[in-house]
Amino acid sequence: MKTLLFLMSFSGLVLGETRTYDFNQGSTFQINQVETTYTLESFPDFDLLTSFLGPCDQDECNVLPDTSFDLTYTVTGSDACTGLNGTVDWQTAHPAVDGEHSIPISSITEDTVFTLSCSDSISGQTNTRSVQINLDNSPQCSADIYPPNLTRLSSTYQFFNDGYDFGETTHTDVLINLATSEFITLSDFGLTELNFRRRIDFVSAPTNYNRISQATVSISECPGDFTETSICNYLVENFRSIRFSTNQADNPLLYCILEPGTNYYINFVLSPSPYTEPPSCDSENDFECAIFYTETSQ
């Protein structure tokens, strides 16, 4: 024993402190045989709450008065989630099981911030996120605004765009075969990205469809709105472009300016003046003709 102690001293070996590290979730102890290293790597606490979104899939949305909506969040690694400020029905415990959860909110009476806090009791980590829900006090939508004596068809923009949102792809064609007795309103039209431009180029429909003469295209918050209250209103023919932008600084004479993240309706009717002139096609013998366009990046 004395010999060993002597030898350790002889070799210059000194026993020192104890160094302690924590191995929490988010850390890895990695063995790399090529580099001959054992590496303890720590990362900042990852987010327990990876998303918290309003009904428009953004963290700020508009809703109509007396209208219910869902708040949706995705949680991972948490064991308790609680709604903080918001409506009374929000301020309670919410599911903390890993995955996506949607919580229905009956309605709001004023602009409201909803806050969600999720925590992990073992690591002590807490993450909090908020969404802003604004009350949309714009005039209520009504069928009174529809072009007279026409049948309304309704669908989503994605249905006619091969499942894609507006602005998502330039590899699809939109073809809407419309009767002269109808107009169509497509919901879920809009752009999500700020300072984003998009163009749609109307061209003559494929030869197995009838050509249009003139049509009116409007972007509006209410379906079937071809009036001055619509966001944009254009007369189109078989060859025409419409430009869209989410840059508020762009010229509204050149671009239809959209609020990013807002859902609009895009409306089509085969008449240059929907409230005064009945729809028609290029040939007076046709009672059905096709609006046809592609999206183009700007």
Partner 1 sequence: MTSPFRRHFKTLIMMMKTYTLLLLLMTNTLYAQWTFDVLDSGQTQSQTSLIFPVIYNHGLCDFQFLILENGIYINVVINNTSGCNGLDHFVVIDDFYYSLPINFKFELNDDNWKVLDFVDMGTCVSLSEETILESEPYVSIGSTVLQIRDDEKINIYSHDNQTFFEFDSANGDIFCENGLPFVSPLDIIFIGAFE
Q: Does 16 bind partner 1 (CB under 8 A)?
A: yes
Q: Is 24 in the site for partner 1 (CB under 8 A)?
A: yes
Give the strand pairing for 151-156 and 232-236. Answer: unpaired
97 belongs to the binding site for partner 1 (CB under 8 A): no
Contacts with partner 1 in 235-254 (CB under 8 A)? none
Does 46 bind partner 1 (CB under 8 A)? Our answer is yes
> Per rule CB under 8 A, is residue 5 in the interface with partner 1?
no
| Separation between Cα atoms, residue 123 and residue 133, nearest integer Å | 32
Q: Does 275 bind partner 1 (CB under 8 A)?
A: no
Helix (H) or strand (E) holding 159: helix 157-160
Applying CB under 8 A, which of residues 54, 55, 77, 224 lies at the interface with partner 1?
Answer: 77
Work out whether 121 is an interface residue with partner 1 (CB under 8 A): no
Residue 39 sits in the site that holds partner 1 (CB under 8 A): yes
Binding segment (CB under 8 A) for partner 1, from list 43-51, 55-63, 139-147, 270-278: 43-51
Minimum distance, C-beta of residue 18 to partner 1, in the bound complex (Å): 4
Distance between start and end Cα atoms, the chain: 83
Phi (first) and psi of residue 144, to 5 degrees: -60, -20
The backbone torsions φ and ψ at residue 247, rounded to the nearest 5 degrees and listed phi first, read: -95, 110
Distances (CA, A) of 21 to 26, 42, 45, 238: 13, 10, 15, 70
Q: Which stretch binds partner 1 (CB under 8 A): 20-28, 181-189, 250-258, 283-291?
A: 20-28
Residue 116 contacts residue 101 (beta carbons within 8 Å): no
Q: By CB under 8 A, name the binding residues for partner 1.
A: 3-4, 6-7, 10-34, 36-44, 46, 76-77, 122-123
